[in-house]
Amino acid sequence: MPPRLLRSSTPLAAAHLRALSAFAPRAGEGAPHLFGGMRPRAPDLLARLPAELVSFARARAAGRAAPSQFSYGNALAACARAPAPALAEQVYCAAWKDGLSGNAYVCTGMVDLLAKSGRLRDALRVFADGDPSSAVCWNAAVSGAVRNGEGGLAVEMFRDMVWGSCEPNSFTYSGALSACAAGEELSVGRAVHGLVLRRDPEYDVFVGTSLVNMYAKCGDMGAAMREFWRMPVRNVVSWTTAIAGFVQDDEPVSAMLLLREMVRNGVAINKYTATSILLACAQMSMVREASQIHGMVLKTEMYLDCVVKEALISTYTNFGFIELSEKVFEEAGTVSNRSIWSAFISGVSNHSLLRSVQLLRRMFHQGLRPNDKCYASVFSSVNSIEFGGQLHSSAIKEGFIHGILVGSALSTMYSRCDNVQDSYKVFEEMQERDGVSWTAMVAGFATHGHSVEAFLTFRNMILDGFKPDHVSLTAILSACNRSECLLKGKEVHGHTLRVYGETTFINDCFISMYSKCQGVQTARRIFDATPCKDQVMWSSMISGYATNGCGEEAISLFQLMVAASIRIDSYICSSILSLCADIARPFYCKPLHGYAIKAGILSDQSVSSSLVKVYSRSGNMDDSRKVFDEISVPDLVAWTTIIDGYAQHGSSQNALAMFDLMVQLGVRPDTVVLVSVLSACSRNGLVEQGFNYFNSMRTAYGVEPELQHYCCMVDLLGRSGRLAEAKYFVDSMPMKPDLMVWSTLVAACRVHDDTVLGRFVENKIREGNYDSGSFATLSNILANSGDWEEVARIRKTMKGVNKEPGWSMV
């Protein structure tokens, strides 16, 4: 027996020790017989036990010959089915007295029972006393480790078995492959596969199915399907495993095609096939296919199975078919099953919080205690802190508050309601945490701008033994959104490379991170060093350049992307079009317009709005209007773009006509489009019309005027020469005027040579310690009036003022 297993084992449970003390032989006296000295009411007890255990107990009580190894094995198997672990310990102690504790049948039965009871260490102690040459004992120990989530231990035991004197069989290989699948250990799984091929090249369907499952769980569906088609015989488990692999790999279409092939081969589906296919239908919103599966289920007894009903409910609620889901839920025999309730509440909570709470109350009224999944589902939909607090109190009363599922959902709820303090308090009170709860807390801190706390939580997560996954990595990198966080981001980058190495997904995450932290050059080095660049990575790098004001580099990279035959989606196309508009590159617009038509993405609102923007920025309002008119239902962004385009190019009447049409069509204006409308009035001197729009902002459109709207009105009055009214308007503003307001008024003073008002504005600008632009404008006003002494004084004042550097393309 491998010494490592003995050293790593922990003592038996207290109940097991008491049983050993009661039944183990002592010096000079024998152990009492199992079930010896029963009281007269013992027949009632025996009537409730399995037949094998009753027969065994009567034989022991009668004092006949010691039972055989098969009798002990059958008795232990009966205890496992009952389940009756306390009686199993007594049976094992009796076997110990008879000298059969190390027998393969007895050892296997006890190891299997203890492992199924969650007592893996006790099972390993029993296994250590067993026969080291028995493959059956090894199989029970390996499968027990897998069942208890100890995949690494199961793989170690398999290695010990292979290196020892015991020859693995099909069940051993299956257990080892299951361990690899559970831990996603693809390299170890391939090694086991190689061992199988060397020792048993004609393996049976049991091992073949385990290989398919291992490769599918480890994300290598190509290898999984090669093994699947290599199998000479495939049963329903084999087909279901392959279908479930496609569903897990987000390939629902492939799963449906494989199901059709399965039916064509005459293999009847079981409940696990049905649940996997229903999940595939939910992923792709395949309503017709889900209805067909429902019909197939109705023709069999599978419809009575709670797992199938739960899958049907989840699928229909995912489609939004609440009535159909409720019909399945209300079927006879389901209203008393808590898993059905939790599935229905979980699905309904995504569509109606009120309805899910009503279902929760209905459970209480029917005498059913909601489980943790019910509470977690409702918490995931709550957006009100008051209502969430009431549900929090209910969860405390039911004793779910310290569980992982409810605790994580509750912490996320408080974070979603902008209460990070209570979110962290719930997180701290959780008795145990998993990777999901840690990730939720990291994301909560990052979302609300608490970068330091997010990094500390992420660090504690690693110290607590949790390996960051892609979700937690995305969460912590969202906290690296400014240059001050660059050093911390590099630390996360280094740790991630040590744990995962370089992958396309990880490199994509760090390209985005470095771009946000003004490290676009580092981002480009990562991009260039990645051998296989996907569409997301190209898009991230282009967005990084655009964010950092590197328009030329972004366009050059886009050209390389086109040359590499990478598909251009609507997001990339709209980003490049907006960039062309911002950096005055209209000559790229026509080719991109043609590509959008060929690719079928012109109907996307973001692409159409970007085309409208770039055409209008280049002064081509005719093409801009043509693109706009081709949009079936323009959104507010498209309306704002076309209105602003007309306003910027002096077509104020067209701009106002488009705005009136937008309001008539029921599109509600926002702050931005009203700025464009007021600017259109200002450029054409439409004072009265401009005031009508300004005064109706609150009443007609429900928009509170902001500083930029007041600035437009000052510009409107200033352009019309009504400077006194403009000054009065500034004085009556409900907020303090900023530099833009004073600069607008200074510009009007220059146009109309109002030196007095210009000096007044000079004092205001000096008091506000503004930049040099307004002083330069005031200096020009005084120069036009011939007051050179004042010009010299203003120029001298400008020496201590901040000057923004400028540049010209000419």
User: In which residue are the tokens 């969650």 written?
Assistant: 118
Phi, psi of 29 (to 5 degrees): -145, 150
Q: Strand, coil or helix: what is 337?
A: coil
The CA distance from 61 to 66, in Å, is: 11
Report pLDDT for 45. 43
Angle between helices 504-516 and 520-529 (to 10 degrees): 160
The CA distance from 77 to 108, in Å, is: 9
Residues of the chain where predicted confidence (pLDDT) is lower than 50:
1-48, 65, 332, 803-810
Q: Tell me the CA distances in angstroms from 103 to 115, 546, 615, one per residue in order.
A: 18, 72, 85
Task: Quote the DSSP letter at residue 736.
Answer: -
Phi, psi of 773 (to 5 degrees): -60, -45
The CA distance from 113 to 119, in Å, is: 9
Q: Tell me the CA distances in angstroms from 193 to 188, 229, 397, one per residue in order.
A: 9, 16, 51
0.85 exceeded by pTM: no
What are the residues whose beta carbons fall under 8 Å from the beta carbon of 320, sequence distance 6 or more?
351
- The first and second tokens of residue 589, run together, are 């617009």
The CA distance from 703 to 750, in Å, is: 32
- The first and second tokens of residue 734, run together, are 């409900």
What are the residues whose beta carbons fall under 8 Å from the beta carbon of 344, sequence distance 6 or more?
313, 317, 325, 326, 329, 359
Length of the chain (residues): 810
Tell me how far the alpha carbon of residue 162 is from its chain's centroid.
Answer: 40
The CA distance from 372 to 410, in Å, is: 11
> Residue 4's closest CA among 132, 196, 147?
132
Report pLDDT for 625. 92
User: In which residue are the tokens 């009567």 written?
Assistant: 58
- The first and second tokens of residue 164, run together, are 């020892």
User: In which residue are the tokens 């025999």 written?
Assistant: 333
What type of residue is 518? Q
Report pLDDT for 808. 39
What type of residue is 403? G
The CA distance from 247 to 137, in Å, is: 35
What mean pLDDT value characterizes the chain?
77
- The first and second tokens of residue 88, run together, are 């199993």
Cβ distance 744 to 714 under 8 Å? yes
Report pLDDT for 239. 93
User: In which residue are the tokens 């004609």 written?
Assistant: 202
Q: Tell me the CA distances in angstroms from 64 to 33, 35, 286, one per residue in order.
A: 11, 14, 65
- How far does the chain reach from its first CA to its final CA, in angstroms? 85
Cβ distance 470 to 438 under 8 Å? no
Q: Tell me the CA distances in angstroms from 702 to 88, 302, 497, 634, 735, one per residue in order.
A: 75, 56, 51, 21, 19
Which strand (E) or helix (H) includes residue 283? helix 271-284
> Residue 372's closest CA among 348, 338, 349?
338
Task: Quote the DSSP letter at residue 29.
Answer: B
> Residue 532's closest CA among 557, 550, 548, 508?
508
Report pLDDT for 780. 61
Query: pLDDT tens digit string along 177-191?
Result: 887 787 777 878 888
What is the CB neighbour count within 10 angstroms for residue 141? 30
What is the CB neighbour count within 10 angstroms for residue 335? 15
User: Mind giving me the DSSP string for 342-408?
Assistant: HHHHHHHHTT-HHHHHHHHHHHHHTTPPP-HHHHHHHHTT---HHHHHHHHHHHHHHT-TTSHHHHH
What are the residues whose beta carbons fall under 8 Å from the beta carbon of 88, sequence distance 6 or more?
76, 79, 80, 109, 110, 113
Query: pLDDT tens digit string along 223-279?
Result: 899 989 988 888 999 999 999 999 988 888 899 899 999 989 988 888 889 888 888
Cβ distance 298 to 290 under 8 Å? no
Q: Tell me the CA distances in angstroms from 809 to 430, 587, 614, 750, 806, one per residue in order.
A: 60, 16, 18, 27, 11
Report pLDDT for 105. 59
**Dihedral angle, C-alpha 330, 334, 338, 343, nearest 10 °:** -60
What are the residues whose beta carbons fall under 8 Å from the beta carbon of 620, sequence distance 6 or more?
586
What are the structural domain ranges in the chain?
633-703, 706-810
The CA distance from 310 to 471, in Å, is: 27
The CA distance from 227 to 374, in Å, is: 40
Report pLDDT for 286. 83
Report pLDDT for 678. 92
Q: Strand, coil or helix: what is 52?
A: helix
User: Mind giving me the DSSP string for 742-785?
Assistant: HHHHHHHHHHTT-HHHHHHHHHHHHHHT--HHHHHHHHHHHHHT
Cβ distance 261 to 273 under 8 Å? no
- The first and second tokens of residue 723, run together, are 């400077």
Cβ distance 412 to 440 under 8 Å? yes
